[in-house]
Structure 1
Amino acid sequence: MPNDVGANRALVEAAFARWMDGTAYISSLFAPEMTWEIVGRSAASKKYPDAASFIGQVLEPFGRRFPHDTPFRPVRIRSILADGDTVAVVWDGHGTSVAGTVYENTYAWFLTIADGRIVDGVAFYDSIAFDELWNGVDPV
């Protein structure tokens, strides 16, 4: 049975709302076999073969660059578009690092949904801003 476009959009929109209000992370939607590609030339740019690799190599060390009680979060959803099994989200994120520096970035994510889970993700963002945080703030 094909994915329901409206249901896919609603699923992603609800997940972002929970992430924004601090009740869950977007990774709660990741299928274990998910692949994730960060496009470009940032320090984290490459294709990750599964959710565990992406979480362990990017999300966890990224998250450790922010205080536990005030993590990096989306602060504005610019657009959520759905077409077939793909949901595109353009969003702004903000956080103050453990070093006291402000990190802001705009992301464009293209998420493939199957059975209510993200099975493939492709991310675009300002790689210079990301690298300044990644290389300039040690994870705690």
Structure 2
Amino acid sequence: MGNREIVTAAFDDWVAGRAHVSRIFSVDMTWEITGRSTSAGRYASRQAFTDEVLIPFARRFSADAPFRPVAVRSVHADESTGTVVVLWDGQGTTTAGTTYENTYAWVMRLKGGLVVDGTAFYDSIAFNELWFGVEPTT
């Protein structure tokens, strides 16, 4: 299975609520969030990214309507470099009862079927409104 197919299958599982896309993140991956959102920066491992971003982010959403992709607009791959780019729209209902929507572009480099380096682009203002406007559950 090629990198495009691996990433597409992971997103398909996330859309359907079967598994989070992080299942294809290497333990020693690096992840960068661009821009000036509160979470912007470079994370040195899957654990750091999970603990500092993914878990606090997920705790701001209802268990009945968690955040996940609602549309994968496109998936592009360069198998010679292991790079896969996904443009996608995500949505979820917050614990405050509001809807959070954002469009993401993720550029990921895979090795051995796992993401070893990623960069995320998204609307930082919408992200910060969620981060500071909705208290995470414990």
Under TM normalisation by the shorter chain, which class is it?
over 0.9
Is the aligned partner of 1:96 residue 2:108? no
TM (norm. structure 1) is: 0.95
Q: Can you give the 5+ residue segments of structure 1 that lack an aligned partner in the other structure?
A: 1-5
List runs of 5+ in structure 2 lacking aligned partners: none
Residue 129 of structure 1 pairs with residue 132 of structure 2: no
Out of 33, 36, 41, the residue aligned to residue 31 of structure 2 is 36
CA distance in structure 2 between the partners assigned to 1:69 and 1:54 by the alignment: 24
Percent identity, please: 55
Aligned length in residues? 135
Other-structure match for 1:111:
108
State which of 112, 117, 120 in structure 2 corresponds to 1:120: 117
Provide the C-alpha distance between the structure 2 equivalents of 1:101 and 1:58, rounded to a whole number of angstroms.
20
Q: After superposition, where does 1:39-78 map in structure 2 within 5 Å?
A: 39-78=34-73
| Structure 1 stretches of 4+ moved >3 Å | none
| Secondary structure in 1 matching 2:18 | coil
Structure 1 residue 67: Cα displacement: 1.4
- For 1:105 and 1:70, the matched residues in 2 are separated by 15
Q: For 2:91 and 2:63, how far apart are their aligned partners in 1?
A: 14
